[in-house]
Amino acid sequence: MAMTPGSTVPASFEALPNARGAAVRAAETALIDAQRGFSAHADITAPLIRAAAALRQAGWHAAQRFADTLVLASPFSGGDFARRFGVALYDFQAAIERRNLRELACSATLFDHYRELSARLTQHTHAFEVAYEDLALAYRPIPPATLRAVPAQRLARLRASYEAALLFVLRGHSAADSALEEIDACMAELAGPDPYDAWRLASGCSKALRASGRAASGAADAKRFYARCNLLLADQARGIAMAPRSFVRATLAILWRDYALYGAAAEDADQVTLLNDYGLTVDWHVAGTQASEALWEAGAAEAEQQATGRAVLTRELGVLSVNANAYEDFLQTAEASIDALSKHASAANGAAKDDAGAALLASDAAYRLGAAACALGLGHVALLSDALGLAWRRRAHAGAAAPEAHSRAVIDAPDSASVSRATETLRAMLLRVAAGVAPPDSQQALAALTQAIERGREGPFASRGTP
């Protein structure tokens, strides 16, 4: 059975729809065809494949991954699973039409469907597990996070305090609030000066979970996070210098979730800085509440329509249908940002060491471009821009770190050649966008930059951090 437009709107679709964002008409049409076919008990593989292909061309990576899972699960969508599959298909179509790329990546509703679809697949194929970060961080580079050396006696004391507090949290004890305070205090004491210290990231995630109320309410993801932190303490006690990549990805995805969906306010500046250090951006609130922000967005859309005196025009960029006014605004942002990035890349090629301030300016320029591309719906451009922002952020921190200060971790800076190649690829993509042509995917440049970010290639300590 297929859901109808009168069905209940998914509760987690609380992020604002992106009124000026691009539409992937081919995917929308294909998903409508799939719903009709599903209602008629027909084979829906073909329209789902069309939807996935269109989303891949658009660079809507999380949505593409979801569509691919629908394709794989569709042969097993009958019987007792029919209603569950129909709800997933309807909710996915609703999310696509909202044109909010961050919501498509971070929606809890979509992830619940993704997990259920995958679980159905495991009944007929080889078993595999999926995680929230598989959608939220799809195709994104993840920098390594360090664990500093802590004296054994001090670490043992912190582990004992953490484990005692953890029991209250896991059991939902009435003293959970004070236990969370103790856990945060332990994390603060464990955190080192490295901007990529794993406990700095964990502390930020804990703050986000507490701010959302999920930590105190005993939500499953919160309990899982705090339990994984206990395992990280065991790793640190064994002298491991780098946090497991799986821990970093899971923690980062949880930290990003609410900020990606609902935006950030001025008091969240430290959390946003932490997200920027890991290559992620958010929108800033323009109004006090979600309801007032929706009114602001509606007013802006009405003002735009009155200013033009007609229906909003669109431009076609491959599979994307973009708002013409938003397209022109994006081109202005893109021109300034790419000029700044090219200038900094040229300077970095001729310098023995990055100027930390200049590298931060380059990072900010890349993030502005990535946020603008995300808002317009240019998924490929947004992903490469964010990766460049992360690369420059790493170079800024590496430039600020004193090599002789052994108390700090030496950060592996992505090599300048990879940064320059990615910048030129991004420039070429933007030239195509300006010419009204769909940009190609950035897979090759992104892969090289990802390798440079995740492994590091410059400096005498490249390949591992020094605790």
Q: Which of 241, 258, 231 is nearest to 197 (CA)?
A: 241
Residue with tokens 């993801």: 221
> In a 10 Å sphere around its CB, with 0-12 CB exposed, 13-18 middle and 19+ buried, how is residue 349 labelled?
exposed
> Strands (DSSP E) along 18-106, which ranges?
23-24
One domain, residues 451 and 305: yes
Residues paired with residue 317 on neighbouring β-strands, in sequence order = 320
One domain, residues 107 and 229: no
SS3 of residue 301 by DSSP = helix
Interval 238-251: pLDDT, tens = 999 999 999 999 99
- Given a cut of 50, is residue 2 above it in pLDDT? no
One domain, residues 221 and 357: no
Whole-angstrom Cα distance, residue 94 to residue 4?
Answer: 11
In a domain, 320, yes or no: yes
Whole-angstrom Cα distance, residue 380 to residue 428?
Answer: 12
In a domain, 283, yes or no: no
Q: Which of 444, 291, 415, 432 is nearest to 373 (CA)?
A: 432
Residues ≥6 apart with Cβ < 8 Å to 174: none
In a domain, 424, yes or no: yes
432 phi-psi bin (left φ>0, alpha ψ -120 to 50, beta other) = alpha
In a domain, 203, yes or no: yes
Looking at residue 286, its pLDDT comes to 59
One domain, residues 128 and 52: yes
Residues paired with residue 284 on neighbouring β-strands, in sequence order = 264
Q: Which of 70, 102, 105, 68 is nearest to 85 (CA)?
A: 70
Q: Among residues 224, 244, 277, which one ends one of the domains?
A: 277
Residue with tokens 């790493």: 394
One domain, residues 113 and 178: no
Residues paired with residue 146 on neighbouring β-strands, in sequence order = 197, 242
Banded pLDDT at 75 (limits 50, 70, 90): very high
316 backbone dihedrals φ, ψ, rounded to 5°: -100, 125
**Cα 422 to chain centroid, rounded:** 20
Q: Which of 32, 8, 124, 132 is nearest to 77 (CA)?
A: 124
One domain, residues 264 and 172: yes
Containing structural domain, residue 159: 152-277
Looking at residue 321, its pLDDT comes to 97
281 phi-psi bin (left φ>0, alpha ψ -120 to 50, beta other) = beta
Instruction: Note whether 321 and 23 are within 8 A (CB).
Output: yes
Interval 269-306: pLDDT, tens = 999 999 999 999 999 875 555 555 555 455 555 555 55
In a domain, 12, yes or no: no
Q: Among residues 92, 111, 136, which one ends one of the domains?
A: 136
397 backbone dihedrals φ, ψ, rounded to 5°: -65, -35
Return the percentage of the chain with pLDDT > 70, whole number.
85
- Given a cut of 50, is residue 465 above it in pLDDT? no
One domain, residues 38 and 65: yes
Q: Among residues 83, 112, 136, which one ends one of the domains?
A: 136
Instruction: Note whether 386 and 140 are within 8 A (CB).
Output: yes
> In a 10 Å sphere around its CB, with 0-12 CB exposed, 13-18 middle and 19+ buried, how is residue 152 labelled?
exposed
One domain, residues 379 and 423: yes
Looking at residue 127, its pLDDT comes to 66
Q: Which of 97, 70, 71 is nearest to 84 (CA)?
A: 70
In a domain, 130, yes or no: yes
SS3 of residue 157 by DSSP = helix
In a domain, 219, yes or no: yes
One domain, residues 187 and 325: no
pLDDT, average across residues 166-173:
90
- Given a cut of 50, is residue 187 above it in pLDDT? yes
In a domain, 417, yes or no: yes
**What pTM value is reported for the model?**
0.89
CA trace torsion 88, 94, 100, 104 (10° rounding): 0
Total domains in the chain come to: 3
One domain, residues 220 and 330: no
Angle of helix 443-455 versus helix 416-434 axis, rounded to 10: 150
One domain, residues 94 and 177: no
One domain, residues 339 and 444: yes
Residue with tokens 């332990």: 186
Domain CATH for 397: 1.20.120.160
